[in-house]
Amino acid sequence: MKILFMGTSDYAVVCLEALAKSAHEVVSVVSQPDKPKNRGHKLAPTPVHAAADALGLLVHQPTTLKDEAFLPVLEAEQPDLIVVVAYGRILPAYILEFPKYGCINVHGSLLPKYRGAAPIQRAVLNGEKMTGVTTMYMDVGLDTGDMILKKETAIGEDETSEELFERLAVLGAETLLETVDLIEKGVAPREKQDDTQSTYAAMIDKAQAEIDWTCSAAEIKNLVRGMNSWPLAYTYYKGSRMKIGSVSVLDGDFAGKPGQVLYANRTDGLCICCGSGAVLAKTVQFEGKKMMDAKSYLLGNSIEENVILGE
C-alpha cells in the first residue's frame, strides 16, 4: 500500500520509522516548515524532517494547505492512505477525501477523552491512572472521527509526561502497523465516538506551569509530573524563579502556610507545605543553573526556612 505520512514532532518519528521498515511503501513525508532554533536562530529541521532525511524519503514542507495548494502533490503521488501523527495542522476536506482508504490518525489518548493538542500532558496533570492510544479515521472535526483500534496502558505513579510520551510513541507505532494491515485487508473495525463522553486537552501554556501552593500535595505532584520535561513547573524564591523537576508527597498534618519552606538542608532535602500535606522537592533548577538533585544543591547553597515560595 502506498502511504503518505504527515507528522512534525518527536512523537511522530517512531511511527514514521516503523512504517518505513514495514512492507508498505512510504511515498513521501509531509512536515511543517523548518523553524529558527537557539540563539543563532538558524533554521532547524523538524524531528520528522530529520528522520525522513535519514531514511532517504522525499519531504514536502508546505506553508499552506488551503485553496488546494497541496493537490498537485497528491495527484502526482496517488497515495492509497494518508497517515497523520502529530502534524499540527487541520487538514482541509480535499486532502481527507483524496486517498482510496482515507486519512487515519494516531492519537495519544483513549478517545473520546482528551481530544486536542495535549492529551498526554493533560492525562498526567489530571492524575489519570490509565491512558493509551487510539487510531481513527479522520474527519473535518477535531479528533472526532470513527475509531479503529484502542490500546490501553497504565500511567506510573511517578511517571512524567516525557516518559509517557516515549512509551505511547512506541505503543502508537505498534497500533498503527496493525491498523494499516487491517485496512489493507478490508477488515478494519469502525466505531463512532460518543460525543457526550468527550473531553478537551487544550495546548499547554507556560503560565499554567506556575505552582499554586494552596493545592494539595497530590495535585502539585501531578502538575510537576505533567510539566516535565516542558515547560517545567516553577515557583519563586525571593523573587528568583525556581523550577522543580520532581517531588514526592509527604502525608500528614504540617504546621505551615501554603508554599512555606518547612526545612531545607543537605540531609533531609527541601520540604514545602501545601494546601494539604507537603512535598519534598527532589530536583530543582535556579535561573542560569542546571537541574540538580535538591540535596546536592543544598550542599553548596542555602534556601531559607520559613520563606513563603511564590511571593
Residues 238 and 274 in one domain: yes
- Predicted local distance difference test score (pLDDT) of residue 40: 66
The rounded mean pLDDT for the chain is 96
Three cell numbers, residue 57: 524519503
- Predicted local distance difference test score (pLDDT) of residue 83: 98
Residues 186 and 48 in one domain: yes
Q: Is residue 308 part of a domain?
A: no
Q: Is residue 305 part of a domain?
A: no
Please give the residue range of the domain that contains residue 41: 2-201
Q: Residue range 151-155: average pLDDT? A: 98
Residues 167 and 35 in one domain: yes
Residues 184 and 247 in one domain: no
Residues 55 and 114 in one domain: yes
Q: Residue range 216-245: average pLDDT? A: 97
With cell 497500533, the residue in question is: 175
Q: Residue range 59-78: average pLDDT? A: 97
Number of domains in the chain: 2
Q: Is residue 277 part of a domain?
A: yes
60 close to 34: Cβ distance less than 8 angstroms: no
Q: Is residue 276 part of a domain?
A: yes
Among 201, 230, 245, the domain-final residue is: 201
Q: Indicate the residue type of 41.
A: H
Q: What is the pLDDT of residues 267-286, one digit of tens each?
A: 999 999 999 999 999 999 99
Q: Is residue 273 part of a domain?
A: yes
Residues 47 and 180 in one domain: yes
Cα within 13 Å of Cα(236), Cβ side: 5
Backbone phi, psi, residue 149, to 5°? -130, 150
Residues 103 and 50 in one domain: yes
Q: Which candidate, 42, 94, 40, 37, places its Cα nearest to that of 65?
A: 94
Q: Which candidate, 141, 18, 97, 276, places its Cα nearest to that of 5?
A: 18
Q: Is residue 292 part of a domain?
A: yes
- Predicted local distance difference test score (pLDDT) of residue 32: 96
135 close to 216: Cβ distance less than 8 angstroms: no
Residues 165 and 47 in one domain: yes
- Predicted local distance difference test score (pLDDT) of residue 86: 95
| 60, containing H or E segment | strand 59-60
Residues 162 and 38 in one domain: yes
Among 149, 169, 201, the domain-final residue is: 201
Residues 287 and 169 in one domain: no
For residue 37, pLDDT beyond 80:
no
Q: Is residue 26 part of a domain?
A: yes
Scanning 68-137, the segments in alpha helix (DSSP H) are 71-77, 93-96, 119-125
CATH number at residue 60: 3.40.50.170
Q: Residue 231 — pLDDT band, cuts 50, 70, 90?
A: very high
Q: Which candidate, 196, 288, 308, places its Cα nearest to that of 243?
A: 288
The Cα–Cα gap between 138 and 87 comes to 13
Residues 54 and 159 in one domain: yes
Q: What is the pLDDT of residues 176-194, one digit of tens each?
A: 999 999 999 999 999 999 9
Among 201, 234, 255, the domain-final residue is: 201
The Cα–Cα gap between 56 and 294 comes to 45
- Predicted local distance difference test score (pLDDT) of residue 17: 98
- Predicted local distance difference test score (pLDDT) of residue 186: 97
Residues 176 and 210 in one domain: no
CATH number at residue 280: 3.10.25.10
254 close to 229: Cβ distance less than 8 angstroms: no
